[in-house]
Structure 1
Amino acid sequence: MRRRAALALAALPVLPACAMAQSGGAALPCPTRPGDVVGLLLEGTGAPANTVVVFGQCFRPGDLPRGATAGARLADGRPMVAQCDVKARHPDGSVRFAVMALAAPALAAGARQGVVLTRDSAPGGRLDAPALMGTHRAELWVGDRRIDLVELLRTALAAPDARPWQSGPLAAQARVSVPLTHLGVTSLRLVADLAIRADGSLWVEPWLRNDGAMSAGGGPVTYSMRLALDGREVLRAQIARQHQYTGWGRLAGTGPAPPHVRHDAAYLAETGAVPRYDLSTGVSPALLATLGEATRSPAWARPLDPRLIAQTMTQTGARPDIGPVTQSQAIWLQTGDARAAAFASGQAEAAGAIPWHFWDGGWMDTRRWPRLWTDARGGPPPGGLRQPIAADTGWTLDSAHQPDLSTVPYLLTGRRAFLDELQAQSSWSVLGQWTGTRGTPDRPGVAEGVNVVRNNQVRGAAWSLRQLDGAAWATPDDDPMKPWLQATAAANWAWVRSRLPAWTTAQGEAHGWIPGEYGVPGLLPPWQQDYFAFAAAAAARRGNADAGAVLRWMGNFLTGRFLSERRGFAPHDGAAYLIAVNADANASAPLRSWTEIGQATRGRNLSNGNGWSKTEGDYAQLALASLAMLSDVTGDDQARAAWHWLRNAGAPFTHQEAFRRDPILNIVPREAARSACR
């Protein structure tokens, strides 16, 4: 049974999303004036007026053309001081993703204020960062070494080749990196993102990354660390053993906590950043309370704690961290709740503890290491790591069950450390694949050396493509890793598209399913096709034409499994755990008609018939989500018809109460979505 294990399932009242948005005296505002782009809500923490709040914001193509920037106004029309640092642009030159800063109004704890981001001309002025930095001290001790972070920030911002993460009237942020070889290993480094803001506050996010690879002297390390801001200790840790290829960090500041930002998730779906969630369903208060309790637990504060991420990634079942996004991220998107934001951001920090970080001056990739396999079976370099991943890290890595812990937190917060996590995982999604699957560059053909689909588990291919596409889309345009990410994702989709004619011939009338390793000869798990459809829909929504062609091709199978009753295939079997696609376990050629597949499925006692005995899990939810995405991206009428049939068929866990208690797959077509703004 694969029913997803929600963090809380108590039968308590449920708040609809619109009520959540409206409580506290403000609703999410809609754009109503010329130049308005998108609304958001600020939720107060008791911070004074002009406290600077920093967050990430995605934009639709054309909303902020080249030469324009994002400004802001309060919902009642009063102007706000805003800063927009553009990180990535759409092909037409308009802004895709930016790190925003706002001078917020004074808001009591829990009070809410609507804000509208607007299209403005580029603002003038720069923060007098040196003067503000002169009022602060930031000292980090790693072992017996003291590091002056303010001096490092001053030097970084003044460098002739400086590339600050933020630069404008409200915030100046830069990154510094310091090797920490004094502790006896060559693999440990400090990576710190440091910011000074117009409200006078200093913000520090130091990461201790033991991720150096392919050099002599790398290995585990033991150390103490202490961080003091303006003479006040804000962080202390004793690290008994930090394994190689891991990291950890925390964000701390001298000022009050800025207001919490609630984004417009419906608008984010239009940008291509996230799936289109049903914002009218609401989420169980018990589930939200559980997220809050988790972040307050003593274990949550420990460096390198997994923070409820499944450490044995080979663990099957409908885990709350597996899907197009994680469960807490889905809750964050659907409710904007600060508890979900803290939980999801905390897990993005915890992703640093996973030993899939390989750094050699950049996140390692196939440009420099074309034959590297990070598995211990890769052997010595260049086939494998110089220091293999230790066997006692507590983590078992598996691309077929990898969660996406970082994409949504990066896009909603703009925290650069989360981009590191996204890029490192995306690199591992390729380098962690056996070269027999991904190929090597000396073999002719599309995607050779980077193929994550061929002969792979379909779910592994889906989640690897999810990571590659997300990283390629979100990575800043001037980042040296972006060309490899874009080329690798594009090559994989081009390879899949090149296989469609042969797969269509082999699969016949029922074509549209991705071949792969399933571990069940002659049988097909339809839900793994849903996983792959998630990845194809996300890439197609973001503009990949090959992914769009693959998704349209898959539509024949994704919809046909529910609309082929007259051809002998029971529609309830479209959401079964397994269906038969070969005559028997030894047959090499797939069955080519819905009639044959239906007969074989019944013959092997896999059919639901007119019931749902083979669908006791989240399989119907997965099918609904893939049909919704197919309809949303392609406008396929068959997808719309199949989605409506399944939504009303009484399949397990497709009623609204189930989605309130686990909203990770509460994804709907465009026409079924409701706006959150008022």
Structure 2
Amino acid sequence: MMRRRDLLAAAAVCAAPAGAVAQVRAVAPACPSQRGDVVGLVLEGTGGSAGSVAVFGQAFRPGDVPDAGAGRAALSARLSDGRPVPVQVDVKTRHPDGSARWAVIALACPALARGSRQGVVLSATAAAPGPALDTAAALAGRQAIVTVRSPGGAEWRMDLLPAFRAALAEAPWQAGPLAVAARVSAAVSPAAAGGVASLRLVADVALRADGSLWVEAWFRNDVAMRPNGGEAAYAAQLVLDGRTALETTIPKQSQYTAWGRLVGAVRSGTAPWVRHDAAYLADAAAVARYDLATGVDEGVLARMAQSVAAPGWAVPLAPRGITQDMGQTGGRADIGPATMPQAVWLMTGDPRAAAYSLGQAEAAGAIPWHYWDPSGGAGNGGWIDTRRWPRLWSDGRGGPAPGGLMQPVAGDTGWKVDCAHQPDLNFVPFLLTGRRALLDNLQAQASWCVVSQWPAPAARGAPGAAGPGEGVNVVRGNQVRGAAWSLRQLENASWASPDADPNRPWLRSAAAGNWAWIRAQIPAWTAAQGEAHGWIPGEYGASGVLPPWQQDYFAFTAAITARRGDEAARAVLTWMANFLVGRFGAADRGFARNDGAAYLVANLSSSGQALASWAAMGEAMRARGLSNGSGWGKSEGDYAQLALASLASVSDALGSEKAAQAYAWLAGAGAPFTRAQDFARDPVFNIVPRGRGGARCGP
């Protein structure tokens, strides 16, 4: 398990001597310089031939890439020296004005020696489309066959390519001159799966103009609310063009888990690695605004590379550094607006961080929170939702179906899931790669966030149930950190899901319902909390106090949602800002400035009433021994980092000058672990206000 302290230790071991620590920073992308230019990227060579096709995901700001009709967008590409580059764009989501919000991009790349770099600019100008890829000719003589065999010898076999041809005609993921891709899936024979009927094969197949054939095959033992589900045992093999591309034996796969791999039959070498412009992605409200100027210690990346190279990394269903007992607290590399490796990926573009992050995204399939409803979505299958299962509580206390799962989650999976400490392992990897299987993992986790909550009597379709958020509420009665991370999952899953995805309507309504519910509570909460209002009530596990860092967690989710245009989330964040920012500006009213980043803040009297003024809070802090006074003794941890990140997020989302001023003060106040070298070794919360963060582009 790689925890943040392990990465810090690795950085100390692998770094150069004091004063000469090796740091890795993002490569400046090519600068947009012409009318219609949108964003610059960097191609990093892998030794592939000219014309090798790179496929990746790209988010866009509103209005940058106008609608060109038929699911397309007017987009062209050129190298930094002006040479045009063939490009294909498949738009998956759109802004309210119809412009592209997120798309899968394919580029026919130039030949680049390994390690060499070439800038490329995407421009919202029409380019003459090339001829459509001749799928029939490209598939001639190709082969993609999956075989599943039980320990007893029963065999199930699927030829993927005939199903792929049919899927391309019905629902392609990509369709154009450079790449075609589509999904094929089928139930695996129970006899071949070890006697259970819950195992599915889900394969994303792609052909590219460079002659490569790609298959991302996932074995999902996730069918829920149907008879005969349970633990699967089998051997799996994938043959591509006569070569065994994937072969393994799975002696035990718990229900509600999955594993998969992306493999390819490549003819012209691997396409260049694509380095994104993280500052542009932040402008597009896809990710938080990370500080690109700080850099990341080389030792952190070296440790990631060591982990990926270790033999155990390749084992299906291995945790790959994810904390399996999610109830564990403390500094963890997998908790934040994004995980630490993902933050490093965004801040540096380094392939080592990408490989680690993508490996963990795959490993997320092993977490037993994948509940597939074969009749869900639009009727052809989807992740469990409360429209069809209003009483479902996935906890073992849910009882027999439909109150609980038809087959309860086994107690020997090796995982203990917990909404208050859940990582988001798939959003950033899906955002940057467009790998559809990672969206599955993201959506499944978001579904779990709702059905893992106890359905209160008034909540899920009970007589008399009414009001926003009923049936999907992940905030009421929850720890604030649990509410923050659950809403993070709902928001990211609904934002990332394609407009036509059958899971998206419920995910969007679940997220919106929660924001509407919180917004509806604001008048009552304000009346109770008084002058110092702005903190989300919740279960804290301690009497009379709140951990302000949990409010910071919630602020991250509220801020990114507000920046994506959600007015309810903006209203919630505006209300929260009174506390989040005010805690650093109430010294003249008796609340010590340094206490804004204390581990605990006194918020309730001995009778359980809210302390309704900064003076009352400050007096209680001193009386209970919680105050920092003029020092930082109660802030030993990442609490100041969290406060800085939430102030930056408030400033970015609301344009708050007070938040920016509070950020500037705290950044220079000498609080623990807020030096540049601290963030270089531990960058998960290295989030800054708009206008900070280093150079935007290069020559």
Query: TM-score category by the smaller chain?
Result: over 0.9
The amino acid of 1:101's aligned partner reads A
Does residue 131 of structure 1 match 2:130? no
- Separation (CA, whole Å) in 1 of partners of 2:319 and 2:397: 26
In the aligned structure 1, how far is the partner of 2:543 from the partner of 2:305?
Answer: 44
2:621 match: 601
The gaps in structure 2 that reach 5 residues or longer are 150-154, 374-380
- For 1:40-439, list aligned pairs within 5 A: 40-67=41-68, 68-121=73-126, 123=129, 125-143=131-149, 144-157=155-168, 159=169, 162-181=170-189, 182=191, 183=193, 184-255=195-266, 256-360=269-373, 361-436=381-456, 439=459
Q: In the aligned structure 1, how far is the partner of 2:627 from the partner of 2:484?
A: 26
| CA distance in 2 between partners of 1:296 and 1:507 (Å) | 52
Alignment of 1:487-498 (within 5 A): 487-498=509-520
* 1:462 counterpart residue number: 484
Tell me by how many angstroms 1:612 deviates: 0.9
Report the AA paired with residue 505 of structure 1.
A
CA contact (8 A) 1:437 1:452 kept: no
The CA distance in 2 between the partners of 1:607 and 1:407, in whole Å, is: 38
Q: Deviations over 1:575-620 (max 9, x none)?
A: 1111111123xx2211011111011011111111111111110000
Report the AA paired with residue 57 of structure 1. Answer: Q
Report the alpha carbon displacement of residue 638 of structure 1 after superposing the two structures with TM. Answer: 1.2
Q: Secondary structure at the match of 1:196?
A: strand
Contact map agreement 2:24 2:297 (CA 8 A) in 1: no
The residue type equivalent to 2:679 in the other structure is F
The 1-side partners of 2:163 and 2:512 are apart by 38
CA contact (8 A) 1:452 1:461 kept: yes
Aligned: 1:473 with 2:495: yes
| Partner Cα distance (1:594, 1:69) in 2 | 54
Alignment partners' CA distance in 2, 1:409 and 1:14: 28
Match of 2:690 in 1: 670
Determine the C-alpha separation between the residues in 1 that align with 2:278 and 2:62: 16
Query: How far off its partner does 1:451 sit?
Result: 0.6
Closer, same or farther in 2 for the Cα pair 1:495/1:69, shift >3 Å? same
Alignment of 1:492-571 (within 5 A): 492-571=514-593
Go from structure 1 to structure 2 and tell me whether the alpha carbon gap of 1:16 and 1:94 turns closer, same or farther (over 3 Å shift).
Answer: farther
- The answer to whether the 8 A contact 1:580-1:600 is kept is yes
SS at match of 1:253: strand
What is the deviation of 1:17? 5.5
Counterpart-to-counterpart distance in 2, 1:676 and 1:321: 27
Amino acid at match of 1:141: T
Change (3 A) 1:437 1:89: farther
SS in 2 for 1:120: coil
Mark the CA change 1:246 to 1:36 in structure 2 (over 3 Å): closer, same or farther: same
Residue 251 (structure 1) shift: 0.3
Q: Is the 8 A contact 1:631 1:637 kept in 2?
A: yes
CA contact (8 A) 1:73 1:117 kept: yes
User: Cα distance, 1:121 vs. partner?
Assistant: 2.9
Distance in 1 between residues matched to 2:548 and 2:29, nearest whole Å: 38
Q: Tell me if the contact between 2:259 and 2:362 (Cα under 8 Å) persists in the aligned partners.
A: yes
**TM-fit CA distance, 1:509:** 0.7
Instruction: Give the 3 Å change call, closer, same or farther, for CA 17–33 of structure 1 in structure 2.
Output: farther
* CA distance in structure 2 between the partners assigned to 1:214 and 1:644 by the alignment: 53
The answer to whether the 8 A contact 1:72-1:80 is kept is yes
TM-aligned CA deviation for residue 4 of structure 1 = 4.5
How many aligned residue pairs are there? 665
Mapped partners of 2:183, 2:91: distance in 1: 17
Q: Is the 8 A contact 1:437 1:451 kept in 2?
A: no
C-alpha RMSD over aligned residues: 1.3
Give the superposition deviation at 1:259.
Answer: 1.1
Partner deviation per Cα, 1:616-670 (whole Å, 9 max, x = no partner): 1000000000000100111112111110110000000000000000111110001
Partner of 1:449: 471
The one-letter amino acid paired with 1:202 is: L
Secondary structure at the aligned position of 1:5 is classed as helix
Query: How far 1:14 moved relative to its partner?
Result: 4.4
Provide the rounded CA distance (Å) in 1 between the counterparts of 2:481 and 2:44: 38
Aligned residue number for residue 24 of structure 1: none
Q: C-alpha offsets along residues 268-309 of structure 1, whole Å, 9 cap, x if unaligned?
A: 001110000110110000001111111111111000001010
Percent sequence identity over matched residues? 61
Q: Taking structure 2 as the reference length, what is the TM-score of the superposition?
A: 0.94
CA displacement at 1:6 relative to structure 2:
5.0
Match of 1:572 in 2: 594
The alignment partner of 1:261 has SS state of strand
TM-score (norm 1): 0.96
Distance 1:474 1:14, change over 3 A: farther
Residue 228 of structure 1 deviates from its aligned partner by 1.8
Moved over 4 A (4+): 13-18
Partners of 2:458 and 2:349 lie apart in 1 by 39
Kindly state the Cα deviation for residue 676 of structure 1 after the two structures are TM-superposed: 3.3
1:195 is aligned with what amino acid? A
Q: Give the aligned residue type for 1:50.
A: G
SS, match of residue 126 in structure 1: coil
Equivalent residues of 2:23, 2:297 under 8 A apart: no
Matched AA of 2:177: P
Shift in Å, 1:148: 1.6
- The structural deviation recorded for 1:15 is 5.1
Amino acid at match of 1:140: V
Would you say the 8 A contact 1:166–1:173 is kept in 2? yes
Measured at CA, do residues 273 and 6 of structure 1 come closer, stay the same or move farther in structure 2, by a change above 3 Å? farther
**Secondary structure in 1 matching 2:5:** coil
Partner amino acid for 1:257? T
Check whether the contact 2:11–2:298 (CA below 8 A) recurs between aligned residues. no
Report the AA paired with residue 153 of structure 1: F
- Note the C-alpha offset of 1:463: 0.3
Q: Which moved more, 1:139-148 or 1:511-520?
A: 139-148
